Structure 1
C-alpha cells in the first residue's frame, strides 16, 4: 500500500504561524456568516449572564424569606428562578438555530473552493498527492472546521467571558474566597496552554494518518480484482491493519494527552471548592459573610465549573481545527504553474495545424543528471493529416501527447496549434480544439450519454443535435453494445466504468473524443483492448473522422500504424525519423525493430523480421 507523499507533510523545523493567525485564514469564507454567528454569540452570552443571575436570586431567597420564615416570598423567588431558567434555555436554543445554518454554508463554500482548486491544479500536482489525503481534507477536515465554527468557537468565547465575569462576581461576594478560587484555578490555565504544543503535533499526525488510511481503502477497492486474482487479500489486510494500528496508537496518544489535561480540569476545581468551603465556613462564623452570600458564592462557582472544565476539550477541538485549516490551505496555497495567460489569444477559424518546435520536457523532481524526457522534438502535422507516433516503452510518446492540451507545460520550446503557442490560449479555449482518448480509459459514474457528451456542453440546450452527435460517435467507435445495456444510453456505467469490459470502456472513451469534434485529435493507443475484428471495424470508422481531422496517434500495434499518413519514430525523447510506414520500414533499422516489438499477431512480427 502507498505511503503518504512527503509533499503533504510540513517540513521539519518549519515555523508554523500561531493558532490565532492560522484560524484567521477562515475569514474570507466565514465573513458572510458573521451576522448570524454574532447573534448566536449574543444569545450565548445572555444565557451565561442569566445563569450567573440565578445565584444572586438564591442569595436573596436565603438571606430573606428563608431566614425570616416569610413563606410568602418563596413563590415569587421561585418564579424568578424559573423565568431565568426558561430564558437561559431559549437563548441556548436561539444560539443553535443561529449558528447551524451559516456554519454549513461555510463548509459548503470551502468544499466547493477546494474542489474547484483541485480541478484547476495541473496533473503534476495529482501525480504527487494521494487521493485519500485529498478526500480526508474535503470531508473530515472541513466537517471539523464546521463544528468548530458552530460550536467550539462560540463556546470558547462565551466560556472565557463567563469565567472572567464569574470571577468578578465571586470577588464581589467575598474577595478572600474569590482570591482563593482564582489562585487555586491558575494551574488549569497553565496546563491548558502547555497542552497546545504537544497536542498540535499529535493531532497533525493523526489527521495525516487518516488520509493514508483512506488512500489504502480506495486503492484496495479499485484494485479488488487484482488482489483477488493474485490471492493477496490477506496481505492487503495485514498492511491495512498495520496502518490502522498506527492510527490507533496516535489516537491513544491523543487520548492520553487529553486525559492528563482532564485530570487537572477535574482535580483543580474540586480542590478550589474544598479550600473555599473551609475559608467560607470561617468567614460565615466570624460574621464576615452571610449564609446567603456563601450559598450564592458556591452556586456561582458551580456555574463556573462547566466553563472551566470545558476549556480542555474546547482547546483540543481548536487545535484539531487549526491542523485541519493548515491541511486545507496546503492545497489551496499550491501554486498552479499551468495557468491562463494575462492576454489570451484565440483561434477564430481552427484548421488543426499542430507543430512541436524544439520541445523539451522534464518532470519537476527529475534528478539534474537525467536527460529531458522529451528532448528537442521538432514535428509538424498539417491540417487533416494523421500521424502515428511509435517508439519503445519509455521513449516519451505519452508525455509528448500530454503537452498538446497542457496537461503538462513544456520546459523548453513551444507547442503550436494553428500557429498559436498553446500557452497563449486559455485552457478552456485550447481544450475546445483538442480531443483526447487515453489507453487507460476512465469513465465517470454517470450514464453512457453523459460520458460520451462530456466534451460538448454547447449542445446541452439542443437535445436533438446532441443525440445525433452521440449516435454518430458511438457508431464510429463501434459501441453498439450500449443498446444492449439495461437502459441503453441512459444506463449508469458505475464507478470508473468498471461494470464494463476494458474494450467497451475504450470504445466509449474514443466516442467521447470523437463527439467533441476537435480540430486536433490526440489518441494514446485507444484500441489496445480490442480484438482484431472489432479493431478493424473501429479503424474503418476512424478513417472517416481522420480524413478531416488532424490526428496524432500513439501506436502500439502495426495495424494502428496503417491508419496514419505518416509515422514519427521517437527514440530517447527525440524524433529520429519521419515518413511513410513503408519507406521507414525499408530504410530504418530501429523502426523495423520497434515495429517488430509492437503488440500484434505473430504473423506480422515474422513478416517484418523477414
Structure 2
C-alpha cells in the first residue's frame, strides 16, 4: 500500500519535469524530433500513475478491512472475558459506541487519513526540495509560507483532541439513553413518562449538537486558513516568477514546472485540516478502545481440569467485598454441601444471597477464605470446566434474540430432542412447543415477546438441561403463579435429588425443596438446619417466612 503510493507520488512529480523538457526543448528551440518521445513518456507516466492508484486502493481496502475485523474480534473477546464488576461499572451504550462508532473512526483514518498523512508529508518534502533546486529564491518563499501553517496546525491539534473526546463520550451517553428507553419501553408507557424520557433524550441530543457544532466551527476556521495561504503564496510566486523570466534568470519551462509542482502542494496543504481532524478523532477512538483492551480480568482461569464432578461444595470462611475500601458484603460464611444435597438460602432483602450464589461460578471472586468443589479450590480450576459443572438460573432471566431451542441449548449444544423436552417438562415450559414455529420461534431481544413467568421457566429449563453437578437457582420461581410453582417444584425434586443445589428461597413452599436451610443475616450464615428445626428454634427465621407469606397472600 505505502510502496505503490510512494511510487505514485514519484511518477506524478516526474510529469512537471518532463513538461519543462518539452517547453525548453522542442517548443522553444524547435527540436520537433524530441517532441514525440517526450509526449509518449508523459503519457506513459500518466498511465503508470493510474495503475499505481488502482493497486494502492485494492491493497488499502483489504488491509484496512482485515485490521477492523481483527480489532472488533479482539475487543469482543476482551469484553466477554472481563468480570461482572467491570460490566456493572460501564454503561452499555458506552461499550456499544466503542465497538461500532470508534472502530469505524479508526478504519476511516487507517484507510485514508494515515496513508495520505504520510504521503502528503513525503510529497511536501520532495516538492520543496525540487522547488529549491529549480529556483531557490521562489523555493524560499514557499518555505516561509509553511511556517504559519505549522504553528496553527499545532494549536488546532490540541484543541481538536479535547473536543473530539467530548463528542465521542456524549455519543456513548446518548446511545445508552436510546438503549435503555428501547428495553424499558413498557415501564415508560406504564408510568406515562414518555415526555420525561423524550426530554432527557432531547437534552442529550442538544448537548451533543452543540459540541458537534463547536467542533465543526473549529475545523472550518482551520480549513479556511489552509485554503488562503497556498493561494496567496501562488500569487506571489507567479509575480516573482514572471519577473525572473523577464530578467532571463530562469527559463519559461522552469517557471511552468515550478508552478505545476507548487500546484501539486495545494491538495496536501488544504487536505491537512481534514486529515489532522481524522487523526485526532482516531487517536481519541483508539484511547477509548484501549480503556477496554488495557483492562484485564481479575478472575483468572486456573490450571486444573475438573473431570467427572460429583458436586461436593464447601464454603470455608468465605468473605467478599466489591472494592478494597468498601465494607464486607459477606464474611465468615461456612457451609458444607455433600453431593446431592439441596440447600435453601433464606435471608432478608440485601442480606447477600445473590452475591453468595454468584461466587460459586466465579462471577465474582471471594476476597477472603475459599470455595472448594470436590476438594479443589475453584480458583485453581479452569473457568470452562468450573462453569460446565455449575449452572445458574437467575430471578431476572436473560434470553437472547435467537430461537427458543438456541436459548435452551446455550449451556449444552449437544443436547438431544428428548433431553430438551424433558427439561421443558421439569420447568413447566411446554408452552414453547405451541409457539408459531415451535422451538424454532425467535423470542426477540431480551425475550420481550414472552411474559416474565415464561422467561423464567425457559431460563430454568436451560439450567436443568445443562445437567450440572451444582445447580444454583436464584429466586427462579418468583414470577410463577402458585399452581405453576407447585408443578415446577414437584418436577424439580427429581432433578435436585441427582445434583447439588443452592436455592434462594423466599416462600415456605420453595424451602420445602431443600434438605437443609441456611439463614443469612448481616452478611453471614447464622443458622443451618432443616426447615422444621429452624422454624421451631429460630424466631428470626419464623418472622422472615411469615412476612414473605403475608406478602404472597396479600
Give the TM-score normalised by structure 1. 0.88
Residue 260 (structure 1) shift: 2.4
Give the secondary structure class of the aligned counterpart of 2:333: strand
Matches within 5 A, 1:515-534: 515-534=465-484
Residue 558 (structure 1) shift: 2.0
Structure 2 residue 350 is matched with structure 1 residue 426: no
- Report the counterpart of residue 7 of structure 1 in structure 2: none
Residue 90 (structure 1) shift: 1.6
Structure 2 residue 419 is matched with structure 1 residue 454: no
Q: Deviations over 1:515-541 (max 9, x none)?
A: 111111100011111111111111111
Q: Provide the C-alpha distance between the structure 2 equivalents of 1:239 and 1:68, rounded to a whole number of angstroms.
A: 77
- Report the counterpart of residue 549 of structure 1 in structure 2: 499
Matches within 5 A, 1:241-390: 241-341=202-302, 344-364=303-323, 367=326, 370=327, 372-390=328-346
Matches within 5 A, 1:42-81: 42-68=3-29, 77-81=38-42
Matches within 5 A, 1:124-273: 124-273=85-234
Contact 1:453/1:466 (<8 A) preserved: no
Q: Provide the C-alpha distance between the structure 2 equivalents of 1:174 and 1:450, rounded to a whole number of angstroms.
A: 74
Give the secondary structure class of the aligned counterpart of 1:375: strand
Structure 2 residue 443 is matched with structure 1 residue 482: no
- Report the counterpart of residue 363 of structure 2 in structure 1: 407
Q: Deviations over 1:128-167 (max 9, x none)?
A: 0111111111111112222222221111111111111111
Give the secondary structure class of the aligned counterpart of 1:441: coil
Contact 1:184/1:271 (<8 A) preserved: no
Give the secondary structure class of the aligned counterpart of 1:569: strand
RMSD of the TM alignment (CA)? 1.7
Give the secondary structure class of the aligned counterpart of 2:416: helix
Residue 114 (structure 1) shift: 0.9
- Report the counterpart of residue 396 of structure 2 in structure 1: 440
Residue 168 (structure 1) shift: 1.2
Give the TM-score normalised by structure 2. 0.96
Contact 1:557/1:600 (<8 A) preserved: no
Residue 570 (structure 1) shift: 0.8
Residue 365 (structure 1) shift: 6.5
Residue 490 (structure 1) shift: 1.2
Name whichever of 564-573 and 345-354 sits farther off: 345-354
Mind listing any 5+ residue stretches in structure 1 that lack a counterpart? 1-39, 460-464, 606-610
Give the secondary structure class of the aligned counterpart of 2:264: helix
- Report the counterpart of residue 471 of structure 1 in structure 2: 421
Give the secondary structure class of the aligned counterpart of 1:595: helix
Task: Determine which of 331, 348, 373 is the counterpart of 1:417.
Answer: 373
Mind listing any 5+ residue stretches in structure 2 that lack a counterpart? none
Question: Matched residue pairs, number?
Answer: 554
* Residues 176 and 563 (structure 1), Cα distance of their counterparts in 2 relative to 1, 3 Å cut: same
Contact 1:185/1:272 (<8 A) preserved: no
Name whichever of 410-419 and 435-444 sits farther off: 410-419
Q: Provide the C-alpha distance between the structure 1 equivalents of 2:339 and 2:218, rounded to a whole number of angstroms.
A: 68
Q: Provide the C-alpha distance between the structure 1 equivalents of 2:253 and 2:106, rounded to a whole number of angstroms.
A: 44
Structure 2 residue 450 is matched with structure 1 residue 500: yes
